[in-house]
Chains A and B, each alone.
Chain A
Amino acid sequence: MTSITDPPQGSFRLSMLINDTRYRSLTFQAIAAILLALSIWYLGNNLIQNLRQAGLNISYSFLGSPAGYDINQTLVEYDSQSTHSRAALVGVLNTLLVAFLACATATVFGVLAGVLRLSNNWLVRKLMAVYVEIFRNIPVLIWIIIIFTIMTAVMPAPRAFRGENPEATMLFDAFAVTNRGIYIPAPIWGPGSMVVVLTFLASIASIFFYRRYATKTLYDTGRLLPTFWPSVGLFFVPVIVMFFVMGQPISLDYPVLGGFNFAGGLQLGAPLIALWFALSIYTGAFIAENVRAGIQAVSKGQSEAAGALGLRSGRIMSLVVLPQALRVIIPPLISQYLNITKNSSLAIAVGYADVTATLGGITLNQTGRAIECVLLLMLFYLTISLTISAVMNFYNNSVKLKER
């Protein structure tokens, strides 16, 4: 009879803290904790001494005092008597606005360029390669400034639209491209316009449900319902009918030249246009590469197998290739959206009033509260980034290949 016994356990000795792998990690973590605490103490101590020397303190009360500066492009009500926190809010909304617009257009540019880079057409392929390489290899700040310069130095001044024989004319009498920005018609929401909007939302929901129903019928009975024309019909018909039933409640306010400038309509300032367009084409070049890589990542055997099953080329794309390509495309796409949001902080270079320009620019310079402003700024961007990465992780987990 043999029995296995545990090797004799020696009692704990101090040298085991270094030599025994079971305890060594504790030693290292203790050292790291001490170093971390020491450096925080050192930096904090320096901060306190420096602040005392400069006669400053950390306080966020400046957020409640009047800002005293004007912002020319705001989404919410704001004037120079509003508080600094209101100015920061205006900046936050402007950041989100330009980020949203740029994400949308960058996706369009990127998908177009990415698909065209795989086109059979040699010339188009090469042109798209040139587009991608040129925009990826030149800093986005230079692009923003180039487009801003085009907007302000090349476009005609509003007074060029004046007179019998104007040097510049409006497009369709509705759009005016001037060196102060682009003027577009603004919608006027009359009474009853809510009904039209609600109808629109309802028709979008019904398109969604109809498609679900079509898929379900296909899976249950094998009958293929048409989806394209019913969707188009559902999209347009109810809204147009309701628009006329309610007596045309939504009208457009066209920009009109008056005095030295255009009045009416909606003004998209030159900085907004520059930032929006530059971020779109710059990030579009990166998205194009992601799209191309995603489509190429689906092996040719997949589309050949789908073809062997008798699927038509449109269905091969939508049912076999795209679902697999999207799994590859979407994570880098979302991080490109994150990059757009972070790069929108370059607004400060062209004077667009985003949060970096209001909170981190004018408010910081006026109040001298550098530490508070920069911390708030970082907190804002950090919140956005962490939210987007949380969404991305959620998506990644939901599309992850279920393997053993």
Chain B
Amino acid sequence: MSDVHAHSVAFVRTETLPELPPPAAETGVLKWIRENLFATVPNAILTIVSIYVVYAILSGVLPWIFNGVWDASSLAECREILNGTSGACFAVLAERWPQLIFGLSYPADSYWRPALAFFLLFFAAAPVMFFDLPRKLLLFTAIYPFIAYWLIWGGTIMVPLVALVGFVAGYLVYQRLVTNSFAAGFFGGVAAAFVVWYIGGLLIPDDASDTAMLTAVPSRDLGGFMLNLMLGVTCVSLSIPIGIVLALGRQSSMPLIKWICVVFIEFIRGVPLITLLFVASVMLAYFFPPESTVDLFLRVVIMITMFSAAYIAEVIRGGLAALPKGQYEAADSLGLDYAQAMRLIILPQALKISIPGIVNIAVGLFKDTVLVSVISMFDILGFIRGPLLSSTEWNGVYWELLGFAALLFFVTCYGISQYSQWLERRLATDHR
């Protein structure tokens, strides 16, 4: 059969042809462009429109940036140098750089102090953010708040030292008593801390700050981006423990405690942050004892902490609700009491689930710290809109300054959200 076939056709190729290269349109860059940019007609139109938009934006912005003037003493001088061409006046950033970062009235010879505190912040945050680092480093994280306080506010070292000793004493008592019961340990620790703080407060002489190694800086002199960072870091770290307590309270089976937590959380989440800042600036002072003077920074910290605690509580509640019921039942069947079950079984898992949510809240809160400019605190935005834009030299330099503030926030927030995504991948223990 095959013989017949072979003879009946004129020619049969006996060897395979060499492979041809794929068609030019189906390979390499060309294929990618065709499939990803010009797949269909509407797609092609979209691509052309997008290219035009990108071109329009870049052709406007790039010359403005690269033509920028970095060395001038006022906007008028900038315009003279530019002589009508398009260009930014970055000289304002060069000249006012320290004030944008540290605020208008922070003493210039002490700039190294907040800068050092900021530098140390990375070392303090590292063991919290990256779990592979040795756990001993957490010790530095624990004492960092006291170092940072001393560096930024200055004054006598006794104040942060007494505070630290109080915490240490409280922790030691807690360690001692917690084997008996959590409540005894907790209240014993709090009591010990207060005793130490009271005694310490008596020991510090009134004029200690005048002869201190670092000159004291009142908190109304804090400002600039430093103020945003300080508010963000302080309020987020204070609000996480409060948020945990609120979330547990909201899950509690005790009606009164549940009711208190629900009212608190829903109230705070229902009003804008700006009204809470109004409370801090005009109303909160009425609720303190008549003779006390609580400065604005502390009042703002109190209100922002309450604000973010309510939001974090909701995130953690989500984490608690996402845990399978078996985890709670397993803890019960092991005979653990409530505090042990929470500490050893429930919270470690629930917090792990809620970390991305907490980081989101932290980013949102950090962005919201610019709202303090509305109650006339000179954070970076308040400083730009207030003293800087109304000064005679720099009146009218909008884009450079607002762009700079936006850039600072973008870098910080984008960095944190990238970290959060990395953490999410890292913590994913389920196998996919």
Contact = CB atoms under 8 A, between A and B. Distances in A.
Contacts of B113: none
A96 B227 CA distance: 33
A137 B413 contact: yes
Interface stretch (A9-17, A117-125, A245-253, A300-308): A117-125
Interface in A14-52: 25, 28-29, 32-33, 36, 43, 46-47, 49-51
A140 interface: yes
Contacts of A146: 402, 406
A53 interface: yes
Interface in A131-177: 133-134, 136-142, 145-146, 149, 153
Interface string A357-380: 000100010000011001001100
Interface stretch (B215-223, B252-260, B315-323): B252-260
Contacts of B51: 123
A47 B283 CA distance: 10
Interface stretch (B13-21, B137-145, B156-164, B285-293): B285-293
B312 to A, nearest CB: 16
Contacts, number: 151
A25 B258 CA distance: 12
B290 to A, nearest CB: 5
B272 interface: yes
The interface residues of chain A, by DSSP majority, are classed as helix
B254 A356 contact: no
Contact of A370 (B43, B282, B414): B282
A124 to B, nearest CB: 5
A119 B253 CA distance: 48
A25 B254 contact: yes
B368 A139 contact: yes
Given A28-B257, A29-B254, A374-B282, A122 B368 contact: no
A332 to B, nearest CB: 12
Interface in B256-289: 256-257, 260, 266-267, 269-275, 278-279, 282-283, 285-289
B410 A49 contact: no
B286 A46 contact: yes
Interface in B384-428: 385, 396, 398-399, 402, 405-406, 409-410, 413-414, 417
B272 A345 contact: yes
A348 interface: yes
B270 A381 contact: yes
Given A121-B37, A364-B282, A342 B409 contact: no
B370 interface: yes
Given A29-B256, A374-B283, A385-B269, A124 B275 contact: no
A32 B260 contact: yes
Sorting the interface of chain A by its residue count into under 10, 10 to 19, 20 to 34 or 35 or more gives 35 or more
A391 B413 CA distance: 32
B367 interface: yes
Contacts of B39: 120-121
Interface residues of B, number: 56
Contact of B46 (A51, A121, A377): A121
A374 B385 contact: no
A38 B90 CA distance: 56
Contacts of A139: 367-368, 370, 381, 409
B406 A360 contact: no
Contacts of B256: 29, 32-33
A396 to B, nearest CB: 14
Contact of A46 (B287, B402, B406): B287
A150 B430 CA distance: 49
B327 interface: no
A312 to B, nearest CB: 17
A398 B270 CA distance: 23
B409 A49 contact: no
A142 B414 contact: no
Contacts of B385: 145
B371 interface: yes
Nearest to A44: B287
B287 A360 contact: no
B327 to A, nearest CB: 20
Contacts of A378: 267, 271, 275
A149 B253 contact: no
B47 interface: yes
A197 interface: no
A348 B274 contact: yes
A133 B414 contact: yes
A123 B257 CA distance: 53
B373 interface: yes
Contacts of A377: 271, 275, 278
Given A121-B39, A133-B414, A138 B275 contact: no
A346 B381 CA distance: 13
A343 interface: yes
Contact of A141 (B35, B287, B381): B381
Contacts of A263: none
A349 interface: yes
Given A46-B286, A119-B46, A123-B47, A374 B270 contact: no
Contact of A142 (B35, B46, B253, B409): B409
B374 interface: yes
B279 A374 contact: yes
Top 6 closest A-B pairs, CB basis? A385-B270, A137-B413, A122-B36, A342-B272, A370-B282, A139-B367
Interface of B: 35-37, 39, 43, 46-47, 50-51, 53-54, 253-257, 260, 266-267, 269-275, 278-279, 282-283, 285-290, 363, 367-368, 370-371, 373-374, 381, 385, 396, 398-399, 402, 405-406, 409-410, 413-414, 417
Given A138-B406, A142-B402, A374-B275, 14 more contacts: A32-B260, A50-B287, A120-B35, A121-B47, A122-B36, A127-B50, A138-B367, A141-B381, A149-B399, A153-B396, A356-B274, A360-B275, A360-B278, A385-B269
29 contacts: A29-B255, A29-B257, A33-B256, A43-B287, A46-B289, A47-B287, A50-B285, A50-B286, A50-B287, A119-B43, A119-B46, A121-B47, A122-B37, A123-B51, A127-B50, A138-B410, A141-B374, A145-B385, A145-B402, A149-B399, A342-B271, A342-B273, A343-B272, A346-B374, A348-B274, A364-B282, A370-B286, A385-B269, A386-B266
